[in-house]
Amino acid sequence: MIKKLHDMGLRSEHAYTAAVASIGLSIVTWAASLRAEPGRGLDRADRWGIFVGEWAPTFFGLGIALSHYEQEEGSLMEKAHANGERQRQMAGTA
């Protein structure tokens, strides 16, 4: 799943940004719900804030998984580059 997300263009920075944004959105949602429906009380506002606030750990988890994938992919690319250089050097000396 992480490879597919990465192939679609999602990077770890995007997931981290979404996590931080969801924390701010949680506060805004809580405040808006509290003001928009004063008759419903604090419980409803708290539920909305908590619901949106639970997105942050998910986005942080995706960010960590994507970061690990990007590091793994980068090390594979470095190995492939090093092998290619080695083969070119050996071909030049033969």
For the stretch 54-94, pLDDT in tens is: 999 999 999 999 999 999 887 766 666 667 666 777 776 65
- In sequence order, which ranges of 11-54 are alpha helices (DSSP H)? 12-36, 42-53
Burial label, 7 (beta-carbon count in 10 A; 0-12, 13-18, 19+): exposed
pLDDT band at 4 (very low <50, low <70, confident <90, very high): very high
Q: What is the pTM of this model?
A: 0.69
Share of the chain above pLDDT 70, in %: 80
Greater pLDDT, 86 or 3: 3
Stretch 6-11: mean pLDDT: 93
